[in-house]
Structure formats: structure tokens, C-alpha cells
Amino acid sequence: MNLDGVSQIMQRIHSIETRFGIAAAPTADFGKTLKSEMNVAAPAALPPAAGKAARPAAADGEIDNLIRSAATKYGVDPKLVSAVAEAESSRRPDAVSSAGAVGVMQLMPETAKALGVNNVYDPAQNIDGGAKYLKEMLDDFGGDVRSAVAAYNAGPQAVKAYGGVPPYAETQNYVNKVLDLYQ
């Protein structure tokens, strides 16, 4: 909907309010305010170009630092944590999947809570939780990166049930993507 359409709707609302004697809040600047808000909000809402998230350069540096810090804390290769973050969300703190996974490391709310993450949208907490979970998966699967990455995506029970990467196309593609990024 463009601003002309919004203006027409606002004029119609004003007409109805006037007809029924309802005192309305002034809307003279509504179009200007809406346009201003759309200009502020639009960059965050735009889809990433060519599969990459649009991030300021400083955000990349901040994410890199958070990844290095969390990886070091849990004894995980920072390149692996970075590869998971890239595959999961293109390293976007505001990412939300259709399944409900949130943040840079795409933590499910229940998993995040179990990992001690109180705010999944906080990149520091999200990355810390994701690195901790990745370490748990590495430990559960004896350091087997392929199985740990599959478990990060499909859950450890699925990996145990199939004795390795489950035969789910999504998980197989995910594991290949992470391992390609990891190299």
C-alpha cells in the first residue's frame, strides 16, 4: 500500500469520525510521520540481497568478536561456530525461522532457556548459547563434527537413531553447507 492509499483511508476515517461527532486526534502530519517511520524501519525489514544479510561493517566485527569469545569459552573452533552462524541466519541477530528458531544461532526458545539464554535476540547471549549447545553436541558425538552439526540441526535423538546424519534432505544440505563454510 502506498502513502496515497493510506491518506485516502485516513481521510475516510476522518469523514466517518466527523459524521458521528467523534473527536479524533489530529492526523495532518500522519503521512509525513508514516513516511519517516517507513524510512527508518525499512532497511531492517528488507530481505538480504543475493542471500546475504545487509549488515553494517561494525556489526560484522561485533558478531566476529562474540563468536570468538563464546567459542574460546566453550573450547570450540571459532571457525565452526562462525560457519553455523552463517548457515543458520547469515549471522543476523533479528532472524526468526518459520519453526520459531531465533537469532544468530537460530535457537529454539526451549533450547535457549535450557542453555541459560534469557534474551534470544541479544547477540551475545544467543551466540554464547549456540556455542555452548554446539560444544554439547560435539561432546555427545565424540568430537565428530559432522554428527554434531547434524544434531545441531535435527536434534541429537535423530542423529543417534540413524547412527549419523539423518536422511532428511534439509539436514543433509545443512551439514554440507556448514562443512563447506567451515573449510
Residue of 123, 143, 131 whose CA lies nearest to 73? 131
Give the chain's radius of gyration (CA, Å): 22
| Catalytic residue flag (residue 17) | no
Virtual CA dihedral for 30, 33, 39, 43, nearest 10 degrees?
A: -90
CA distance 79 to 104: 15
Among candidate residues 62, 88, 136, 170, the one labeled active-site is 88
List C-alpha distances in Å: 39 to 28, 35, 36, 44.
19, 6, 5, 10
CA distance 91 to 129: 14
Catalytic machinery residues = 88
